[in-house]
Amino acid sequence: MNHNINLNTLLPKLATVFPLLAIGLHLALHVIRTGSLVSFDWQWTLVGLLASGYFGIFCKDLSKDNQNYKRSI
């Protein structure tokens, strides 16, 4: 079994998943601490969702359309 890790596709996936996990954890901890979402500070959640959406939609493969990209052996 040959498992090659392609960082050109892995990094954008991680950049999408990690903010979503952090947002979910932040929401869960806030609900556990306060028992409510009424006092939740939503602006950083929105920033995280926009950032993860950007990386997930526009940065699917970093090697595409990159003139400086050289395939390593």
Tell me how many domains the chain contains.
1
CA distance 40 to 66: 41
Name the CA dihedral angle for 52, 58, 62, 67, rounded to a multiple of 10 degrees: -150
Instruction: Supply the range of the domain harboring residue 42.
Output: 7-58
Instruction: State residue 17's pLDDT score.
Output: 80
Asked, for residue 49, whether it belongs to a domain, the answer is yes
| Nearest partner of 11 among 61, 47, 57, judged by Cα | 61
Task: Please enumerate, as own/partner, the contacts of 64-70 that have beta carbons within 8 Å and a separation of 24 or more.
Answer: 69/8
Asked, for residue 64, whether it belongs to a domain, the answer is no
Q: What is the pLDDT of residues 18-42, one digit of tens each?
A: 877 888 888 888 888 888 777 767 7
Query: What does pTM read for this prediction?
Result: 0.54
